[in-house]
Amino acid sequence: MRSGRKRAVRSGPARAAAAASAFALGCTALVATSGPAGAATGCEVEYTVVNEWSTGFTAGVTVTNLGDALDGWTLEWDFAGDQQVGNGWNGSYSQSGQHVTVEDAGYNGTLGTEASVEIGFNGTYSGSNSVPSSFTLNGVECDGGTTDPTDPPEEPDPDPTDPPEEPEPGERVDNPYVGADVYVNPQWAANAEAEPGGDAVADEPTAVWLDQISAIEGNDSPTTGSMGLVDHLDEAVEQANGEPLVFQVVIYNLPGRDCAALASNGTLGPEEIGKYKNDYIDVIAEIIDRPEYSDLRIVTTIEPDSLPNLVTNVGGRETATENCDEMLENGNYVEGVAYALEALGAVPNVYNYVDAGHHGWIGWEDNFGASVDLFYETAQTGGASPEDVHGFIVNTANYSALVEPYFDVTDNVNGQMVRQSDWVDWNNYADELSFAQALRDEAVSTGFPSDIGMLIDTSRNGWGGDARPTGPGPQTSVNDYVNEGRVDRRIHLGNWCNQSGAGLGERPTAAPESGIDAYVWVKPPGESDGSSEEIPNDEGKGFDRMCDPTYGGNPRNGDSDSGALANAPISGHWFSEQFQELLANAYPPVQ
């Protein structure tokens, strides 16, 4: 005889007094067969093998009523093997095949709420003596919970063959672009339609830029026209017509904005962080949180050309500027972005995407990890959280090719890696798609949520037309191989202003590649990056020589020609010549 060995099974949550070898059972309480009509039901059972030998065993059973008081009870279970109940105590036992029924003994028939009764029996077996897997008390499965008949019935599990239900318009989703239309800015559409051939793309969605405080209410600038944020949101509700719709808005007004360039300087001075918070972010947050806009999926692009500047254009670097050093020291870029993330992220239907530069800026090893670390630090500043970041956007208002189809940075030509070419210049990435996917992985590994997604601005990175190569370059040298095979025809990766030869890129598309939430047109094609010569204005826009076609460059573009178009207006103003070139060089071509 073996004694002292216990095997126990309990239905419902474990208790402190249970034997160490207890096994938890999981079933669902449904209906009771005794007790007053409408009574709450529920129970818990602990079945313990107190003693066991070669052909027999002793079992103890504790039954606890978790529902309303019972006046009479019946416990039932099924053995898995050939166990047979012999003599028992504290109940009336019967068995049919593997099914066992125990009725109360009369004197213990009343079982109050949380009251327990101890029963037990001796039994025989051959083979295995596994414990029962489930029990019922008065027809109620004992899972350790209770059921109130006044509660609504549980919904049945969905049929896996049924198509998934479409989310409601304002329901939180993983990718806001999937299953939704995207807002078409009527002001940009009107400008596009007025251009020869522009009607072919005038129905494409573009973002609304709030690049100064006055843009919130609307003004007469060519950037925003007379429509303010409320006007755009009201129009978006009409376009949605009760269906899911994404409204894209660019948050772009940091103190000391765009510290490494002048063409897109803003109206707030480096120290005006209070005004940024109170008069800009708080006002925007209040508007988009209004009930009438709760069904829109509002996608924000948070402060282009801000945080990466604090990595690449500060300190003793050759590319450093005094303005960027100042913004690093005063902390207002970090504080401002964090405040925007917190305030806008608190609105349930807002999806924040932080601007993360582009591969020709952040793609080098000493920039890449440091930038993601800064993004993570910013997302934990003040009251912000990484959960306020739905993802990142790359290539905002830039020209970097989506994909370089004819070479890869790992290629080797005559013993030299492509990374050694003058164009790639030891960058780890050749295009925006590979860069975006890698940056997403780095962000997740740093601590951002694993479900973040990426956006890529493809509004001007098509590089089609007659100059687009149709195959790899010659392998006469690594520079020939890259220069004659690259689709990005800029003179230098650092060139960013009104680039000659550029074309419309991929049309806005939801979920085009792994980790990519959408290709988007955040920069409205046809709106200038900056003036080619100094133009006085009241919008805070300076003159940047990178927009001057005669400029020979600076360390940030390898002292190369700017590649900018002539006769350009100040940033945000309509530039007809550029729009026509973008149409002509579109890739895929405009049909």
Question: What's the pLDDT at 7?
Answer: 36
20, pLDDT greater than 80: no
All structural domains of the chain, each given as residue ranges with its CATH number in brackets, are 7-147 (2.60.40.290), 181-531+548-584 (3.20.20.40)
> What proportion of the chain, given as a percentage, has pLDDT over 70?
89
Is residue 523 marked as binding? yes
Q: Is 423 marked within a binding site?
A: no
451 known member of a binding site = no
User: Encoding tokens for residue 273?
Assistant: 């962080």
Q: Confidence band (pLDDT; 50, 70, 90) for 247? A: very high
Q: Is 463 annotated as a binding residue?
A: no
Q: Which two tokens stand for residue 458?
A: 């493809």
Report the relative pairing of strands 56-65 and 41-52 from DSSP bridges: antiparallel
Q: What is the pLDDT of residue 261?
A: 79
- How open is the CA angle 208-213-219, to the nearest 5 degrees? 70
Q: What angle do CA 95, 101, 107 make, to 5 degrees?
A: 125
Helices 332-345 and 365-378, axial angle in degrees (round to 10)? 50
Helical packing angle, 432-446 and 365-378, nearest 10°: 50
Write the CB contacts of 483 (distance below 8 Å, at least 6 apart in sequence): 421, 422, 423, 473
User: Which residue among the candidates 305, 411, 488, 517 is catalytic per the annotation?
Assistant: 305
pLDDT at 171 (0 to 100): 92
From 104, 143, 258, 295, active-site residue: 258
pLDDT at position 3 is 32
**Does the structure show a pLDDT above 80 at 258?**
yes
In the residue annotation, 258 being an active-site residue is answered as yes
Neighbour count for residue 168 (Cβ, 10 Å): 11
Alpha-carbon distance of 335 to 343, in angstroms, equals 12
| pLDDT tens-digit series, residues 24-63 | 333 322 233 334 446 789 999 999 998 888 889 999 999 9
Question: Rounded distance, CA 384 to CA 346, Å?
Answer: 10
**Region 557-578 average pLDDT:** 94
pLDDT, tens digit (0-9, with 9 covering 90-100), for 393-443: 999 999 999 999 999 999 999 999 999 999 999 999 999 999 999 999 999
Q: How many CB atoms lie within 10 A of CB 101?
A: 16
> Which residue is catalytic, options 104, 388, 457, 529?
529
118: annotated binding-site residue?
no
Write down the mean pLDDT value for the chain. Answer: 89
346 contact partners, CB below 8 Å, separation of at least 6: 285, 289, 388
Query: Is 444 exposed, middle or buried, given 0-12, 13-18 or 19+ CB atoms closer than 10 A?
Result: middle
pLDDT band at residue 16 using 50, 70 and 90 as cut-offs:
very low
Is residue 226 very low, low, confident or very high in pLDDT (cuts 50, 70, 90)? confident
Residue 382 has pLDDT above 80, yes or no: yes
Contact 560/491 with Cβ under 8 angstroms?
yes
**Does pLDDT of 220 surpass 90?**
no
The long-range contacts involving 267-270, CB below 8 angstroms and separated by at least 24 positions, are 267/212, 267/213, 267/539, 267/540, 270/323, 270/326, 270/327, 270/330, 270/332
pLDDT of residue 30: 28
pLDDT over threshold 80, residue 102: yes
Give 43's contacts (C-beta < 8 A, 6+ positions apart).
11, 12, 29, 63, 64, 65, 66, 67, 135, 137, 140, 142
pLDDT value for 158: 62
Q: How confident is the model at residue 134 (pLDDT cuts 50, 70, 90)?
A: very high
Strand partners, 476: none
Q: Average pLDDT of 160-188?
A: 88
Q: Is 209 annotated as a binding residue?
A: yes
Q: Based on the residue annotation, tell me whether 305 is a catalytic residue of this protein.
A: yes
Q: Tell me the two tokens of residue 62.
A: 């504790």
**Mean pLDDT of the region 276-287:** 98
Asked whether 393 and 456 are in contact (CB, 8 A), the reply is yes
